[in-house]
């Protein structure tokens, strides 16, 4: 099959959950014998390499601003794909799905697949207009594709009960990963193995970094004499996503605490070191699709302290490591309880996490399920060229 990926920023993935998902999926599809092209943005990739790990790259222009970058790149990529020899056009994200009607009309023999990655309108970086458009995009993601994939069971339930659409649940995938032997990045940030908690995320308000910083500062004040907490640090790995004011506020919030370390964006082996040598990952997010960074921590055998949003609880991690979202006091309690856990118990948490990844989230499980969706939609009779069905038009109408 000839497959085009549209909606991601590009390859190689340096940051962004969708980008990581598409990168890893595309590479594995090529390894499985499929012909894959990924539409990329030169500003993100830093160049125009024609191939990345065997995956063809197609670069189309965009208007590189906060509100126009994605939609203009999706438009130019869609037009290119429509006039190319592709069998599957796979849109990633609800925003990009707004234009998925174009190949349904102009290239009816192609099959359109859409992956619903998250409820983007809840991301606090967007204003009212963008949130309204994203609400419409949710309906587009469920109406314009021959099949819609949801990456979490909670998103699948949302589409069923709120958008009256059946979707196929296929979670994000990650590889099982060994902890790297190297530790040189730790000294660069004043960190020591097993002496810090790590949060890995874009720094946007709904990820909850401000809550974690407040909780950590209060813990350090209240339990300064506790030997388990005295040397503990917090590493926040990630940077701005059109949220410079929020990032500046986080730095101001933490400026008097040398035990809170900001590393900015990290990728590759440096990111693996920061994750692998941490005591645990902590993720206080208030809204997710299915967080790849958490899956990566689980795949590495790290304990994971997670907020109790549905997308976290469905991972079925240790219940004693869960804490209610948007609540500083319960974050404090969770951290204080965790640092008293024995080394053997921490190792057990990590082994259980890896077993969970192996069972449902390993790429060896995920890729065949996605290929099956491609095969199913390819087997269906071509959609008429006239238009999308009246039912689809009704679904996408603003209520």
The whole-angstrom separation of Cα 223 and Cα 227 is 9
Strands 147-150 and 196-200 come out as: unpaired
Domains 2-173+363-396 and 184-361 in one fold = yes
With tokens 């130019």, the residue in question is: 76
Q: Does domain 184-361 have CATH number 3.40.630.30?
A: no
Residue 357 gets which letter from DSSP? I
The whole-angstrom separation of Cα 192 and Cα 185 is 10
pLDDT tens profile 7-17: 999 999 988 88
The whole-angstrom separation of Cα 274 and Cα 294 is 14
Query: pLDDT tens, position by position, for the chain (399 residues)?
Result: 999 999 999 999 988 889 999 999 999 999 999 999 999 999 999 888 899 999 999 999 999 988 899 999 999 999 999 999 999 999 999 999 999 999 999 999 999 999 999 776 666 566 777 778 888 888 999 999 999 999 999 899 999 998 989 999 999 999 999 999 999 999 999 999 999 999 999 899 989 999 999 999 999 888 767 777 888 999 999 998 888 999 999 999 999 999 999 999 998 899 999 999 999 999 999 988 788 999 999 999 999 999 999 999 999 999 999 999 999 999 999 999 999 899 999 999 999 999 999 999 999 999 999 999 999 999 985 444 434 444 444 443 433
Helix (H) or strand (E) holding 113: strand 111-116
Q: 2-173+363-396 adopts what CATH topology?
A: Rossmann fold (3.40.50)
Other Cβ atoms less than 10 A from the Cβ of 298: the count is 28
User: So what's the pLDDT on residue 124?
Assistant: 59
Sorted by where each begins, the domain ranges of the chain are 2-173+363-396, 184-361
* pTM for the structure as a whole: 0.85
DSSP letter for each residue of 176-200: --PPPS--HHHHHTT--TTSEEEEE
Helix (H) or strand (E) holding 149: strand 147-150
């Amino acid at each position: 099959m000839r497959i085009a990926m549209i909606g991601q920023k590009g390859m190689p993935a340096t940051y962004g959950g969708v980008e990581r998902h598409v990168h890893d999926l595309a590479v594995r599809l090529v390894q499985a014998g499929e012909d894959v092209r990924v539409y990329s943005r030169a500003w993100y990739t830093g160049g125009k390499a024609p191939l990345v790990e065997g995956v063809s790259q197609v670069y189309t222009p965009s208007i590189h601003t906060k509100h126009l970058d994605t939609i203009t790149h999706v438009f130019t990529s869609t037009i290119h794909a429509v006039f190319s020899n592709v069998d599957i056009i796979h849109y990633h994200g609800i925003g990009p799905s707004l234009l998925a009607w174009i190949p349904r009309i102009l290239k009816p023999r192609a099959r359109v697949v859409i992956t619903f990655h998250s409820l983007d309108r809840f991301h606090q970086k967007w204003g009212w207009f963008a949130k309204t458009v994203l609400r419409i995009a949710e309906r587009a993601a469920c109406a314009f594709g021959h099949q819609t994939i949801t990456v979490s069971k909670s998103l699948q339930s949302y589409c069923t009960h709120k958008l009256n659409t059946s979707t196929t649940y296929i979670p994000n995938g990650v590889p099982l990963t060994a902890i790297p032997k190297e530790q040189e990045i730790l000294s660069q940030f004043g960190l020591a193995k097993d002496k810090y908690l790590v949060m890995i995320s874009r720094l946007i308000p709904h990820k909850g970094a401000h809550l974690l910083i407040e909780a950590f500062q209060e813990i350090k004040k209240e339990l300064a004499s506790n030997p388990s907490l005295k040397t503990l640090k917090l590493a926040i790995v990630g940077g701005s996503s059109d949220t410079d004011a929020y990032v500046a506020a986080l730095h101001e919030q933490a400026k008097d605490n040398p035990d809170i370390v900001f590393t900015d964006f990290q990728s590759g082996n440096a990111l693996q070191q920061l994750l692998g040598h941490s005591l645990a990952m902590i993720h206080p997010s208030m809204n997710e699709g299915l967080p790849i960074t958490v899956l990566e921590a689980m795949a590495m055998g790290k304990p994971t302290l997670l907020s109790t949003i549905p997308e976290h609880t469905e991972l079925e991690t240790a219940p004693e490591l869960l804490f209610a979202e948007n609540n500083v006091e319960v974050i404090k309690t969770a951290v204080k309880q965790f640092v008293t856990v024995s080394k053997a118990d921490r190792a057990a948490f990590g082994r259980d996490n890896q077993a969970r990844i192996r069972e449902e989230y390993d790429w060896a499980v995920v890729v065949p399920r996605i290929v099956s969706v491609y095969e199913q939609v390819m087997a269906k009779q071509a959609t008429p060229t006239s238009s999308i069905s009246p039912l689809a038009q009704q679904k996408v109408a603003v209520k």
